[in-house]
Amino acid sequence: MKQQKNQSHYHGLFKEAMLGSFSKMNPAYLISNPVMFVVEIGLILTTCLSIFPNLFGPVPNDIRLYNIAISVILFFTILFANFAESIAEGRGKAQAESLKNTQKNMRARRLDDDEVETIIDAQELKKNDIILVKIGEIIPSDGEVIAGIASVDESAITGESAPVLKESGGDFASVTGGTMVASDWLKIRITANPGESFIDKMISLVEGASRKKTPNEIALNTLLVSLTIIFLIVVVTLYPLADYVGIHLDISTLIALTVCLIPTTIGGLLSAIGIAGMDRVTRFNVIAMSGKAVESCGDVDTMILDKTGTITFGNRLAAEFIPVAGVPKDKLIQAALLSSIQDDTPEGKSIVTLAADEGVLLSNQKMMGEFIPFSAQTRMSGMNLSNGAKIRKGAADAVKKWVQISGGTIPSDLDGIVQKVSSLGGTPLVVSQDNQIFGVIYLKDIIKPGLVERFARLREIGIKTVMCTGDNPLTAATIAEEAGVDSFVAECRPEDKIEVIKKEQAAGKVVAMTGDGTNDAPALAQADVGIAMNSGTTAAKEAANMVDLDSDPTKILDVVEIGKQLLITRGSLTTFSISNDVAKYFAIIPAMFMGAIPGMKALNIMELATSYSAIISALVFNALIIPILIPLAMRGVKYTPQKSEKILQHNMLVYGLGGMIAPFIGIKLIDSCIAPLLAIIGL
Query: Distance (Å, rounded) from C-alpha 479 to C-alpha 469?
Result: 10
374 is in an annotated binding site: yes
88 is in an annotated binding site: no
The angle that helices 291-298 and 215-244 make with each other, rounded to 10 degrees, is 90
CB 456 within 8 A of CB 423: no
520 is in an annotated binding site: yes
376 is in an annotated binding site: yes
Q: Torsion-angle region of residue 178: left (phi > 0), alpha (psi -120 to 50) or beta?
A: left
- How would you classify the pairing of strands 174-175 and 143-147? antiparallel
Q: What is the dihedral of CA 620, 623, 626, 627, to 10 degrees?
A: -80
Judging by beta carbons within 10 Å of its beta carbon (0-12, 13-18, 19+), is residue 594 exposed, middle or buried?
Answer: buried
CB 292 within 8 A of CB 210: no
379 is in an annotated binding site: yes
CA distances from 204 to 263, 292, 537 (A): 31, 16, 22
378 is in an annotated binding site: yes
Query: Distance (Å, rounded) from C-alpha 303 to C-alpha 289?
Result: 19
| Strand spans (E) along 226-346 | 286-288, 302-306, 317-323
161 is in an annotated binding site: no
Q: Tell me the residue type at 81.
A: A
Query: Distance (Å, rounded) from C-alpha 21 to C-alpha 80?
Result: 8
526 is in an annotated binding site: no
Query: Distance (Å, rounded) from C-alpha 296 to C-alpha 546?
Result: 11
Among 138, 121, 116, residue whose Cα is nearest residue 130:
116
375 is in an annotated binding site: yes
Among 482, 541, 622, 682, residue whose Cα is nearest residue 64:
682
7 is in an annotated binding site: no
CB 396 within 8 A of CB 418: yes
124 is in an annotated binding site: no
Among 466, 454, 537, residue whose Cα is nearest residue 499:
466
CA distances from 453 to 118, 145, 315, 354 (A): 55, 39, 22, 30
640 is in an annotated binding site: no
Q: Provide the b/e sequence for 279-311 (b: ≥16 CB within 10 Å).
A: bbbbebbbbbbbbbbbbbbbbbbbbbbbbbbbb
Range list of H helices, 537-610: 538-543, 555-593
Catalytic residues: 306
Range list of H helices, 373-450: 396-405, 414-423
The DSSP call for residue 250 is P
381 is in an annotated binding site: yes
Annotated binding site: 343, 347, 374-381, 393, 516, 520
Annotated binding site for Mg(2+): 516, 520
Annotated binding site for ATP: 343, 347, 374-381, 393
